[in-house]
Amino acid sequence: MRLRACFTASLFALMTAAGPAIAQSSGPGIDRPVSFKELAERLAPAVVNISTSQNIEANVEMPEFPKGSPLERFNDFFGNGEGRVASSLGSGFVIDAQGHIATNNHVIEGADIIEVTFPNGDNYVAELLGRDPQTDVALLKIDTGNDIPFVNWADSDTAEVGEWVMAIGNPFGYAGTVTAGIVSARNRNIDHGRYDDFIQSDVAINKGNSGGPLFDMNGDVVGMNTAILSPSGGSVGISFTTPSNIVKSVVEQLAKYGETRRGYLGVNVQSVTKDNAKSYRLSEPYGAILTNITKDGPAEKAGLKRGDLITEYNGKRLEKASDLGLLVANTEIGATVDVTYIRKRKARSTQITVERLKEKSTKSDKTKGEAQKSAALGIAVEDITDAVRRKHRIRGDAKGVRVTGIDRGSRASGKLRIGDVIEQVELEDIEDVEDFASKAEAAMEEGDSVMLLINRGGSYLFYSIAGES
């Protein structure tokens, strides 16, 4: 009780003490939003939910229990060993009327099927145009046949600490969630990648917000929400956003080439401290000290040496060493740039022709997971013979045809899975592949969609598949 009383008395004293003068204001009103309502209503239609699935092939044949064995009845309960699906959820945002969508690479990496869902429920299968693991950025494309709502880029270099920002995303699958806060810090390096330069905010960001936009008060995208610091796994008010200037540069390259094409100097650098700034006769620490020069690289060809301190690159002052990597990466390949540096306490200058950084290509991922096409709804199927039933452990009560492939661009993608058993078309039983094709094609001629009864490991689901337009 004594401890509680002492705490209460101390707290009362603090509460009644005169506050600092800085907390009082008789000047103009503080610049802060009264409400985020208008921004949320205007911007939410361009923020999408991204769901992905990855077919995991598991061609493991389980042992068959012999007939008459007490365990024979379990033969049908080990079915569907193939076609298991790993799923993930994230966010994204539309960046133009043609259907280009930006999101995080880690949201879509390894996916066989990528689905985009708008707040109004419209759903599309997306094409992966390209991805960049270094900045954790990916670019998708959907075809809607109509113009769709999109958002504009902000200049992230102008975002300042203390400014209001707002996020829209799909945390834990709750679509269209709006959260707000302020920019907490700039230029954060969290060892996420080579080009770390994150904006830190206290906006509530959780699992599922990844790839979603962070807006300024003009309603422009100041960055892409990418990571959080959280001992608990949920938001604790420390989130990290990839600046829009970085994201925009990457998606432009992905749209044009399907991969990134970054500049390269062939140097390693370190930051300038207060102590070694004096050695270079600088009044304050800034720039990048070259610690290593790659043989026959652009920097060596231009005459730079280990120990040189670069202060300006292409007319821009380097406030910190990491600025150099970001500026070089965004330089056009083959461009000649002016570099100012210090050697032996004397300012010098040179010109460097930027070469292309050699990176592992991600182009091959564009076709990953594409399945064979079928004349019926973009679904490839096979008869359920005794051998097929035994190999894939299809339950004994499952009748119909087994799904072996799904055209990535079909309306069935994102709904059906490899290994599903189609038992009915428009409430009529299916006998074999030929029966499925004829009934599906007949149903397409009669209506805009075809209803299928799916047996997925003993669970029954109805799906309406729209005919191909």
Residues annotated as catalytic (active site), given as ranges:
106, 136, 210
The one-character DSSP state at 66 is P
Residue 381 class from Cβ within 10 Å (0-12 exposed, 13-18 middle, 19+ buried)? buried
- Residue 74, φ and ψ in degrees, nearest 5: -85, -10
Closest CA to 179 of 188, 191, 166, 189: 166
Q: Which residues on adjacent β-strands are paired with residue 349?
A: 340
Residue 288 class from Cβ within 10 Å (0-12 exposed, 13-18 middle, 19+ buried)? buried
- Chain Cα centroid distance, residue 325: 22
What is the distance between the alpha carbons of residues 275 and 279, in angstroms, rounded to a whole number? Answer: 7
What is the distance between the alpha carbons of residues 129 and 110, in angstroms, rounded to a whole number? Answer: 14
What is the distance between the alpha carbons of residues 118 and 120, in angstroms, rounded to a whole number? Answer: 5
Q: Which amino acid is at 352?
A: I
Task: At 101, list the tokens.
Answer: 């969508």
Contact assessment for residue 310 and residue 339, using Cβ atoms and an 8 Å cutoff:
yes
Q: Which residues on adjacent β-strands are paired with residue 339?
A: 313, 350
- Residue 276, φ and ψ in degrees, nearest 5: -80, -10
Q: Which amino acid is at 117?
A: T
Neighbours of 60 (CB within 10 A): 10
Q: Which residues on adjacent β-strands are paired with residue 393?
A: none
Contact assessment for residue 378 and residue 468, using Cβ atoms and an 8 Å cutoff:
yes
Q: CA-based angle 282:288:294, to the nearest 5?
A: 135
What is the distance between the alpha carbons of residues 326 and 333, in angstroms, rounded to a whole number? Answer: 14
Reading phi first (left if > 0) and then psi (alpha if -120 to 50, else beta), residue 279 is in alpha
What is the distance between the alpha carbons of residues 245 and 261, in angstroms, rounded to a whole number? Answer: 16
Provide the H-helix boundaries in 44-193: 105-108
Beta-carbon contacts of 52 under 8 Å, excluding residues fewer than 6 positions away, are 87, 88, 89, 90, 107, 108, 111, 113, 114, 115
- Residue 132, φ and ψ in degrees, nearest 5: -135, 100
